[in-house]
Amino acid sequence: MTALKLVPCALLLTACGAPPKPATPALTPETAAQLLHYNAKASVWLAHVKKQNPTCEYKLEIPNQMASPVEIDVPRIVWCGGQPAPRELNASVSFEYDKSTGRWTVARFAS
């Protein structure tokens, strides 16, 4: 009889526990910028773009990550003088969470 009383208590404690840890940590704009900074293709492309227009920079608008995605695509990352860059200067990037290392990586960079 006492075992039957413990079952509801155990269920109640389980339901009231802490929320589960997110499957993947959020990709912050700072982390994304660092990944681009150390990516060879991204560095070469930004140098090329700056020769065309010195006001251009990478600007990353990371989408909402409430669903804990393992891949994030950012289709427009080059901005010049606060405006989106012309198509010929733009680039895109895909970030991927590597579960084996526990880190975000640049999966694809396209210019």
Q: What is the pLDDT of residues 54-76, one digit of tens each?
A: 999 999 999 888 888 999 999 99
Q: Is residue 4 part of a domain?
A: no
| Total tally of structural domains belonging to the chain | 1
- Summarize pLDDT for 9-35 with one digit per residue, the tens: 555 556 555 666 557 899 999 999 999
Write the CATH number for 47.
3.10.450
Can you give the chain as a three-state secondary structure string?
A: CHHHHHHHHHHHHHHCCCCCCCCCCCCCHHHHHHHHHCCHHHHHHHHHHHHHCCCEEECCCCCCCCCCCCEEEECCCEEECCEECCCCCCCEEEEEEECCCCEEEEEEEEC
Tell me if the pTM is above 0.85.
no
The domain of 104 spans 23-110
